[in-house]
Structure 1
Amino acid sequence: MATSWETSVTESINAVYLLFSAYLVFVMQLGFAMLCAGSVRAKNALNVMLTNVVDAVVGTVSYYLFGFAFAFGGSNPFIGTSFFALHHVPNDSYDYAYFLYQWAFAIAVAGITSGSIAERTQFSAYLVYSSLLTGFVYPVVAHWVWSSEGWLSPSAGGVGLLFGSGAIDFAGSGVVHLVGGIAGLWGAVIEGPRVGRFDAFGKPVPMRGHNATLVVLGTFLLWFGWFGFNPGSYARILVPYPDAPDQGNWTGVGRTAVTTALAGSTAGLVTLFGRRLLAGHWDALDVCNGLLGGFVAITSGCAVVEPWAAIVCGFFAAWVLIGLNTLALKLRFDDPLEAAPLHGGCGAWGLIFTGLFAKEELVVQAYESGEVGVSRPFGLLLGGGWGLLLAQVVAVVVIVGWVSLTMAPLFYVLHKLHLLRISVDEELAGLDISSHGGYAYVAHPEEHHPRFYADYTSIADGTR
């Protein structure tokens, strides 16, 4: 029997680990801000930086007031309680640490969506969709999968699990990335492509970002943060296994970090050579997106697959991303950061991958505290039957359906009210000067071009 002092030390270490992981996930906001800034044209850099800040600050208030309670409050399998989240947190000694960790995930979702609609969206629209996404849309999905009361949860004590399994989304391929990707998909579809993105014959016109250095910096910051995103999801790492007191959830933390690194690195390599074959040159920006696609995909099964399977995950994630980006161009779908294919497509693949490759022993460790004699559905290709894979497919379908049902009407209403997209003149001049009073850089590289100079001066002197 542990003494009160031992219990206190254990809970203190758990709280510190959870807070540290939350800080790592929050660093991803900086990473995504750098990635966004480098991926857009210089005339929109200030705008995209501000939208990343707004996603965080609006999401913080919205998630506190509504989101956390919808995600983890109450006992309803479909939706939690509402209003004032911290009144509904579990009653233990590190409630606030748990809230902060979940908050860091919530504000990441809005940032994903902003990448798909960058360079052409009114600033007020960001305020509206960020509030709804972090306060309601995302938390409902989190409740389904991550709350022990959720109808998709794999942690319901073996009672009422969907297909006897529940859907395994350990750190959020579906809950976070698929939600953000599908929201961005609808925003980009309803807005339409940027001016000049496709020519009169429908062929894509390159609109490359202005700063590859920021893109690479952002990618490495995101990689760093992912070590809080995935291993940090072992929220209570010092909980011992009942049948093996010398082991516990902490035994999976290191392996989860390894699977994360392997999946991302494999996807980056495959994208490097795949794009070399397709485009005829080496492209650092494509590699960065491939790397992130691998991270997105492994996020679902990072704790329940072996390292070799993570390599398989990353390999196919790269081709999912390349294939969806090729399809997007054929359909004249414009996504400046490839956010919808990357987070949506690779997020969906990550859920399916888990249903194919999850190892039974690791599933029991993650969701049954390593109890001896417990049997659960696991990966189909490892002999675990169809239960887990079917649950994963259901998760993909209902997440896509829920986000579409909520976010598509929102973007459509904003569009009809002329609150979604900026005017053609403002887009040509750039959001920085048209909406924020000046460019991000003192020496703006495009302002010397006659067309942009004319737009700049006409807006600045009030004649347009």
Structure 2
Amino acid sequence: MEVSWEESVTHSINTVYLLFSAYLVFVMQLGFAMLCAGSVRAKNAMNIMLTNVVDAVVGSISYYLFGFAFAFGDSSNPFIGTKFFALKDIPDNTYDYSFFLYQWAFAIAVAGITSGSIAERTQFSTYLVFSFFLTGFVYPIVVHWVWSTNGWLSPSSSESLFGSGAIDFAGSGVVHLVGAVAGFWGSFIEGPRVGRFDAFGRPMPMRGHNATLVVLGTFLLWFGWFGFNPGSFDKILVPYPSTTDQGNWTAIGRTAVTTTLAGSTAGIVTLFGRRLLVGHWDALDCCNGVLCGFVAITSGCSVVEPWAAIVCGFFAAWVLIGLNLLALKLNFDDPLEAVQLHGGCGAWGLIFTGLFAKEEFVVQAYDSGATGVERPYGLFMGGGWGLLGAQVVEVLVIVGWVSVTMGPLFYALHRLNLLRISVEEEVAGLDISRHGGYAYTAHQEERQPQLYADYITLQN
């Protein structure tokens, strides 16, 4: 079929925009790597950087072989996509390949969240196993439920739940909550790091070794989030039929603004909140606060007003602070606060969307601004309970699905002695016990006498 010049230009611009967004999301892998490396102790820096690389390379293969088909394969099934190796049947269409790449960048981010929760005490082989399973099967099923047009939770489905479907525009639940629940089970089953809590259950300081890397990672993630959220409008040139000067390009700008405001608000509230609790200004707390705001707004970034994004970030900060205090009370050890940050704030983001989504913006995001369309929207905005109910259902089914899949996987690895390293190896550090040396040459030279002692200990 002959394509007009106008259609060709539109198609080209949409493709370039989607590819650029995919590249931005992929940059977040570097952000994760820097954040993780700075948040762990120096003796485990090599290990955590390698696991971030493994999450990407293993996730690429598993998502190509299985994940994309489960998520978006041709199917009228509301629960799972079909047709393995889905890409082999895609015509020579640049946009379709671009869509795969964009979705792949999301998929490998999920495994990175989980990796942070089990850092500093986990066998390397575990990362290979869970990354493949999480990226190739567990995560794509949730994607199909919420983001496929056939999904039973999808707001684009012809039979959407409660007449609404769950609005999770860029993945507060699909990406962040999935990764966090998986990380919870891994961290819970293997237990806290050696020395994290004393004999009386009191938490002991175990700070990361490099605040510079944490700040660098935070800004890289912030930069990448402009692909994560605004990029989820996967076609930029979509005009709205009821206007002459509006289309997706206007909603994309608003989405970038709501993302920025939520993260900034959460960062400043966390900074001051932690100042009241611990008595000093902490850059690392501020960084995690910024990220928790981004996680929370990711669900509703396209369907809320900028002022509502500030509300989202304000409460996300207190969710993070409260869950961190609860984790210490329960002797739960997550070196990167990933479960609290991505899980707690991801769940809050879904609930927030059910409260503050604006009808006009919902129609823009899911019906291209069509006239005469009525949709459930935020409860506090006068839209009734339909959307909020669907948001709560999404939280519950994600927690349930990931728990019944990843929980048994981590338990099986534990029973097979494939999950946690030995106490001796953990004390010596994963870099020397599993990776042949420390990440920093100066650190290795300073500890050269100790390296020999550690080696003798491991041999005995």
* TM-score normalised by L of structure 2: 0.97
The answer on 1:310 being equivalent to 2:306 is no
CA distance in 2, matches of 1:106, 1:268: 26
CA distance in 2, matches of 1:170, 1:3: 31
Letter in 2 for 1:387: G
CA distance in 1, matches of 2:450, 2:441: 18
The answer on 1:70 being equivalent to 2:70 is yes
The 3 A distance-change label for structure 1 pair 295 and 319 is same
Question: Is the CA contact (8 Å cut-off) linking 1:70 and 1:80 kept in structure 2?
Answer: yes
The 3 A distance-change label for structure 1 pair 437 and 357 is same
Letter in 2 for 1:147: S
The answer on 1:415 being equivalent to 2:414 is yes
The aligned counterpart of 1:191 is 190
CA distance in 1, matches of 2:260, 2:189: 36
The 3 A distance-change label for structure 1 pair 9 and 367 is same
Letter in 1 for 2:19: L
CA distance in 2, matches of 1:149, 1:284: 44
Q: Alpha-carbon deviation of 1:460? A: 6.1
The 3 A distance-change label for structure 1 pair 424 and 367 is same
* Counterpart secondary structure, 2:119: coil
CA distance in 2, matches of 1:390, 1:250: 30
Q: Alpha-carbon deviation of 1:248? A: 1.7
Question: Is the CA contact (8 Å cut-off) linking 1:154 and 1:168 kept in structure 2?
Answer: yes
Question: Is the CA contact (8 Å cut-off) linking 2:437 and 2:444 kept in structure 1?
Answer: no
CA distance in 2, matches of 1:446, 1:341: 37
Listed as ranges, the matches of 1:176-187 within 5 Å are 176-187=175-186
* Counterpart secondary structure, 2:372: coil
CA distance in 2, matches of 1:216, 1:445: 24
The aligned counterpart of 2:107 is 106
CA distance in 2, matches of 1:70, 1:90: 19
Q: Alpha-carbon deviation of 1:243? A: 2.9
The aligned counterpart of 1:243 is 242
Listed as ranges, the matches of 1:409-448 within 5 Å are 409-444=408-443, 448=447
Listed as ranges, the matches of 1:28-67 within 5 Å are 28-67=28-67
Q: Alpha-carbon deviation of 1:84? A: 1.1
CA distance in 1, matches of 2:331, 2:77: 42
Question: Is the CA contact (8 Å cut-off) linking 1:66 and 1:84 kept in structure 2?
Answer: yes
CA distance in 1, matches of 2:231, 2:211: 30
Letter in 2 for 1:208: R
Listed as ranges, the matches of 1:146-295 within 5 Å are 146-156=147-157, 159-295=158-294
Letter in 2 for 1:63: Y
Question: Is the CA contact (8 Å cut-off) linking 1:42 and 1:445 kept in structure 2?
Answer: no
Q: Alpha-carbon deviation of 1:239? A: 1.9
CA distance in 1, matches of 2:143, 2:332: 28
The aligned counterpart of 1:137 is 138
The 3 A distance-change label for structure 1 pair 446 and 317 is farther
Q: Alpha-carbon deviation of 1:407? A: 0.2
CA distance in 1, matches of 2:367, 2:264: 30
CA distance in 1, matches of 2:288, 2:440: 25
Q: Alpha-carbon deviation of 1:26? A: 0.2
Q: Alpha-carbon deviation of 1:350? A: 0.3
Question: Is the CA contact (8 Å cut-off) linking 2:72 and 2:81 kept in structure 1?
Answer: yes
Question: Is the CA contact (8 Å cut-off) linking 1:429 and 1:456 kept in structure 2?
Answer: no
CA distance in 2, matches of 1:36, 1:295: 17
The answer on 1:81 being equivalent to 2:77 is no
The 3 A distance-change label for structure 1 pair 446 and 256 is farther
Gaps of 5+ in 2: none
Once the two structures are overlaid, the 10-residue window that deviates more, 178-187 or 2-11, is 2-11
CA distance in 1, matches of 2:185, 2:96: 35
Question: Is the CA contact (8 Å cut-off) linking 1:63 and 1:85 kept in structure 2?
Answer: no
CA distance in 1, matches of 2:453, 2:436: 12
Q: Alpha-carbon deviation of 1:251? A: 1.4
- Identity over aligned pairs, percent: 80
Letter in 1 for 2:424: D
CA distance in 1, matches of 2:198, 2:189: 19
CA distance in 1, matches of 2:319, 2:457: 48
**Residue deviations 1:128-165, cap 9 Å, x none?**
00000000000000000000000000012xx2110010
CA distance in 2, matches of 1:457, 1:121: 22
**Residue deviations 1:283-309, cap 9 Å, x none?**
000000000000000000000000000
Q: Alpha-carbon deviation of 1:83? A: 2.1
Letter in 2 for 1:22: A
Q: Alpha-carbon deviation of 1:373? A: 1.4
Letter in 2 for 1:35: L
* TM-score normalised by L of structure 1: 0.96
Letter in 1 for 2:148: S
* Counterpart secondary structure, 1:59: helix
Q: Alpha-carbon deviation of 1:446? A: 10
* Counterpart secondary structure, 1:304: coil
* RMSD, aligned α-carbons: 1.7
* Counterpart secondary structure, 1:350: helix
Listed as ranges, the matches of 1:292-441 within 5 Å are 292-441=291-440
The answer on 1:123 being equivalent to 2:124 is yes
Q: Alpha-carbon deviation of 1:75? A: 2.1
Aligned residues: 458
Q: Alpha-carbon deviation of 1:454? A: 4.9
The aligned counterpart of 1:457 is 453
Gaps of 5+ in 1: none
The 3 A distance-change label for structure 1 pair 81 and 365 is same
Question: Is the CA contact (8 Å cut-off) linking 2:122 and 2:420 kept in structure 1?
Answer: yes
Q: Alpha-carbon deviation of 1:369? A: 1.1
Question: Is the CA contact (8 Å cut-off) linking 2:424 and 2:458 kept in structure 1?
Answer: no
* Counterpart secondary structure, 1:247: coil
The 3 A distance-change label for structure 1 pair 189 and 453 is farther
Q: Alpha-carbon deviation of 1:82? A: 4.4
